Amino acid sequence: MSELQRLLTAYDRQRETGNPCALATVTEVEGSSYRRPGARMLVTDDGHLTGSISGGCLEGDALRRARRVMLTGKSETIIYDSTDIEEDLQHGAQLGCEGTIHILLESIDYADPNNPVELLRKTSRQDWQVVLITILGAKNSISNLCGKRALLTDSNQQELSLTGNEATDRLILKDALEVFQSGQSLTQNYQDGEENLRLFLEVILPAPQLTVFGAGNDAQPLVKLATGLGWRVHIIDGRMPQATVQRFPEAETVEVVKLADLQMQQFFPGYAVLMSHNYHYDFAVLQQLASFSQVNYIGILGPRKKTDRLLDDLQKTGISLSEAESERLYGPVGLNIGAETAEEIAVAVMAELLAIKHQSKAGFLRDLDGPIHNRNFIAASTL
């Protein structure tokens, strides 16, 4: 279960009891930090925390402040500055990251179908990226705009209703559409009459999809690991006794597709791993995936000579992969971490998948010359 799924589950339990809760969201980071903008944590009135906004150093203080937000019902933005030693000690955060972190705390109104958690639920069901627009602060405001949100789901969207001011909403929509196209989250300031607004335009990507062709025992740890990281996983295999929901309860879909039926199969976009342990089945899958450009990663389990044989046989059928198409192939699949067992191989494969997803060159962090995280975030000057 992914962090977001755990947060939604905790929220649903809390809503059933009617007890209050609050949502903490990292909206800005300057310098180093453990979590990046968009990290979230649900806080209940009895002190239960789901998710995280740091490595554990901010949670205690955020809990205390969240309880106050639950009582007042008013959103609050907290700034933790670990570059200031005295302030760091005063908050008891002791970050050690030498960064400044902005946290938005909001009390959750269960009666509001568009409260921040319900909007997150909507984004979790999308098959495409969205931009979640949140008003973080409104100086000189008498209109309780802080915490108000809007969701941009279409790059062709023409209207936005957020502030009540058409001219301001048009400017926000223009920036949101640019964020949608660039894929970079943005914190931006706006002047709305006498009000100074600060907004968080957050890109939320859909959960990546992984199709595992093969339902053997070694596929089980990979499926568990991928779904635990929030990936949507699909199982396809020709063996009915192997490809069952009972064996893969975490998978979104489990299908029995015979070898002869693969040419009529509709494949999922995203990522694919061939591990059926049947050469002819893997070859038939590769034949179909070769022309399916929506799969941007094809991992092949087994020795390098198996991949070479697959490509040779593919060429004999008249299918010649271009250089760009060949870049999608990873065989043998997985990072070189000395994996031996099925569980270790699952880690190696999943690590490679994450490296491809984040467009990162895998390696030891100690050898990295630069920041650990891809910031993918633009912050405007503060109000």
Boundaries of domain holding 98: 3-107
CB 266 within 8 A of CB 288: no
User: Of all residues in the chain, what percent are helix, strand and coil, respectively (each to 5)?
Assistant: 35, 25, 40
Percent of the chain past pLDDT 90, that is, above it, reads 55
Q: How confident is the model at residue 336 (pLDDT cuts 50, 70, 90)?
A: very high
- Better-scored residue on pLDDT, 375 or 111: 111
One domain for residues 184 and 220: no
CB 301 within 8 A of CB 333: yes
One domain for residues 192 and 257: no
Picking from 107, 134, 154, the residue at the C-terminal end of a domain is 107
Picking from 204, 225, 254, the residue at the C-terminal end of a domain is 204
Q: Cα torsion at 177, 180, 182, 188 (round to 10°)?
A: 70
Helix or strand or coil: residue 354? helix
Residue 224 pLDDT:
96
Q: Within a domain: residue 114?
A: no
One domain for residues 162 and 187: yes
Q: Domain containing 259 — which CATH number?
A: 3.40.50.720
As a whole number, mean pLDDT of residues 274-294 equals 95
Residue 125 pLDDT:
74
- Better-scored residue on pLDDT, 369 or 186: 186
Q: How confident is the model at residue 84 (pLDDT cuts 50, 70, 90)?
A: low
Q: How confident is the model at residue 220 (pLDDT cuts 50, 70, 90)?
A: very high
Weakest mean pLDDT among 96-100, 143-147, 354-358: 96-100
One domain for residues 55 and 82: yes
Three-state secondary structure along 118-150? Answer: HHHHHHHCCCCCEEEEEEEEEECCCCCCCCCEE
Q: How confident is the model at residue 36 (pLDDT cuts 50, 70, 90)?
A: confident
CB 248 within 8 A of CB 188: no
pLDDT at position 123 over 50:
yes
Q: For residue 303, what are its two tokens?
A: 């020795």
The number of folded domains in the chain is 3
Weakest mean pLDDT among 54-63, 284-293, 301-310: 54-63
Q: Is the dihedral of CA 297, 298, 301, 305 positive or negative?
A: negative
Please give the mean pLDDT across all residues of the chain. 87
Residue 154 pLDDT:
85
